[in-house]
Amino acid sequence: MTATAGKQPAPPSDGDRAATLQLIIALGRALQALERAVRPHLAESGLGLTEFAVLEVLYHKGALPLGAIRNRILVTGASTTYVVKKLEERGLMRRRACAEDQRVVFGELTAKGRTLIDEVFPAHVERLQQAMAGLSVSQKREASRLLRALSLHARRTTGERITEDD
């Protein structure tokens, strides 16, 4: 029975339970494998995965409030502050107050940060493509579609706010 007006969804079957657990294991293993594929190259450039994620989001989105950076790279506020401070100390990004609301602080790339990400990003994408070469373009698109649907449903289930970027 499916969930329709006034009806409760059927309880999950043992098959659904097994498939759910298999999927979570597969997702975790895939993420670990992809991280192992890109981590050494980033380390050669003096970057960890989270530092790269901050630079990458600023590279593609431009200056953003620190809270938006945190939300996009999926780390806690304290971790974001720590990573931003490290990147600032290295001269790769800077913080600046919002002109309209002094409570809001933006992060933005410096020229040095843009130069680094200009050098690192193409090789990063190449490594990701190599790691994912076992899937065809259509399989990658289908996997992306399914994972987006899974993410949106899980986030709605937890009451998380969904934005147009999701």
Whether 77 has a pLDDT exceeding 90, the answer reads no
| 117-151 pLDDT tens trace | 999 999 999 999 999 999 999 999 999 999 999 99
- Per-residue pLDDT, 76: 66
Non-local (6+) Cβ contacts of 16 within 8 A are: none
Least confident of 37-51, 72-86, 98-112: 72-86
pTM for this model (two decimals): 0.81
pLDDT of residue 165: 64
Average pLDDT over the chain, rounded to an integer: 89
Predicted confidence (pLDDT) per residue in 44-68, tens digit: 999 999 999 999 999 999 999 988 8
Question: pLDDT at residue 6 above 70?
Answer: no
The closest alpha carbon to 55, from 91, 19, 21, belongs to 91
User: Phi and psi of 102, rounded to 5°?
Assistant: -65, -15
Weakest-pLDDT range from 39-43, 71-75, 93-97: 71-75
Mean pLDDT of 143-165: 87
Judge whether residue 29 has pLDDT over 90: yes
Domains of the chain: residue spans and CATH: 19-155 (1.10.10.10)
In the DSSP assignment, the letter for residue 47 is -
What DSSP string describes 64-133?
EEHHHHHHHHT--HHHHHHHHHHHHHTTSEEEEE-SS-TT-EEEEE-HHHHHHHHHHHHHHHHHHHHHTT
**pLDDT number for residue 1:** 47
Q: Please, are residues 46 and 136 in contact by the beta-carbon 8 Å criterion?
A: no
